[in-house]
Amino acid sequence: MDLSREEMDRFIENNLLNFSINGSGWHNLIRNMLEEFCLAGWNLNEKVSGKEKFGGLRCYSTSTDEELNIEIRKIVDKYSALSGKTCEICGEEAKGRYVDGWEATLCFKHYSESIYFIEIRNNDIEINDKIIGNLNDINKAETDNSFRGIRIYFSGQEKYYGFHCRQPNYYLLLRSIALHLFSEEDQKYIKSLFENLNDCEVCGHKSLSESHCLRCFNDPWKNSFLEDYESKSQYIKHCQMDLFIDEDDNEKVFQHDRSFEKLPDHKILFNDNELREYEKDMYD
């Protein structure tokens, strides 16, 4: 049965409201998907609904017509894949991110807006340019079991502020808090952590702990890596190229991080030709 443009538009706009998503960025995707439902032969009296899940568009509506269902699944899969490249908020080009432990598909602008940037100026602690308190007013500090997060309490306040190592300037904050505010066990760990940092040959900061780099999160060289790399220098070169390509935008986020001293003699081991070949192999 031929459908008029008016009938399809009414169906599309009515069913657009049935999708539970985090912003308007996927509205055009959903509209296009619903139009393809119409063209495939979907019964316009049947509702279509969906939601965001794990950072992607999901639609579970089915028809009693099995042949039509095959086409519907193809359409849904197509737009589910497209949603993984489209910002949920604005519709611009995007990629999958982790925000507060949740998966989301966001452009860099909206991803950066979801991050709590730490800054310390004149002993004032700022989060996204808003002062939350002063270092001198902290009366208690705690770490989590993995030592990758801290909670700080200010005098006269019952609530605490929590921070995580994936936030820019996290280690600057950890280094700035008076040690005596932590438990005795935490004091020993924090003191040892900063006293025993080594040079990271990957990112060029004095930020290499025993387990990993606190700045670029790469592992220190181990002889067991010889199973995958010809030498230590090849491993460092590959890690450096990954940082330069910055697939997850981590370097963009941490470009203003001041937690660690930069190494004046840091060497970049790859050249332009090697980077082009590496990118080609990565995306082929």
Q: Mean pLDDT, to the nearest integer, of 156-164?
A: 91
Confidence class of residue 182 from pLDDT cuts 50, 70 and 90? very high
Domain boundaries, the chain: 1-114, 116-196, 198-284
Q: Is the pLDDT of residue 67 over 90?
A: yes
What confidence score (pLDDT) does residue 1 get? 59
Distances (CA, A) of 273 to 202, 236, 268, 270, 277: 19, 17, 13, 8, 6
11-58 residue pLDDT tens: 999 999 999 999 999 999 999 999 999 999 999 999 999 999 999 999
Q: Which residue has the tokens 């890596």?
A: 225
Report the distance separating Cα 120 and Cα 170, nearest Å. 10
What confidence score (pLDDT) does residue 88 get? 97
Report the distance separating Cα 144 and Cα 70, nearest Å. 49
In the chain, % of residues over pLDDT 70: 99
Q: Is the pLDDT of residue 101 over 80?
A: no
The mean predicted confidence, pLDDT, of the chain is: 94
The H-or-E segment that residue 280 falls in is helix 272-283
Report the distance separating Cα 239 and Cα 216, nearest Å. 9
132-154 residue pLDDT tens: 999 999 999 999 877 889 999 99
What confidence score (pLDDT) does residue 144 get? 87
The H-or-E segment that residue 80 falls in is helix 66-83
What confidence score (pLDDT) does residue 148 get? 87
* CA geometry: angle 12, 79, 98, nearest 5 deg: 115
Q: Is the pLDDT of residue 111 over 90?
A: yes
| Helix/strand/coil for 266 | coil
Q: Mean pLDDT, to the nearest integer, of 107-127?
A: 95
What confidence score (pLDDT) does residue 122 get? 96
Distance of CA 115 to the CA centre of its chain: 9
In the chain, % of residues over pLDDT 90: 88
Asked if 174 contacts 162 with a C-beta cutoff of 8 angstroms, the reply is no
* End-to-end CA separation in angstroms for the chain: 43
Report the distance separating Cα 26 and Cα 33, nearest Å. 10
Report the distance separating Cα 193 and Cα 145, nearest Å. 15
What confidence score (pLDDT) does residue 282 get? 82
Q: Which of 14-23, 59-68, 93-102, 268-277 has the lowest mean pLDDT?
A: 93-102
Report the distance separating Cα 264 and Cα 114, nearest Å. 33
209-266 residue pLDDT tens: 999 999 999 999 999 999 999 999 999 999 999 999 998 898 999 998 999 999 999 9
What confidence score (pLDDT) does residue 220 get? 95
pTM, two decimals, is: 0.78
Q: Pick the closest to residue 98 from 157, 164, 37 (CA basis).
A: 164
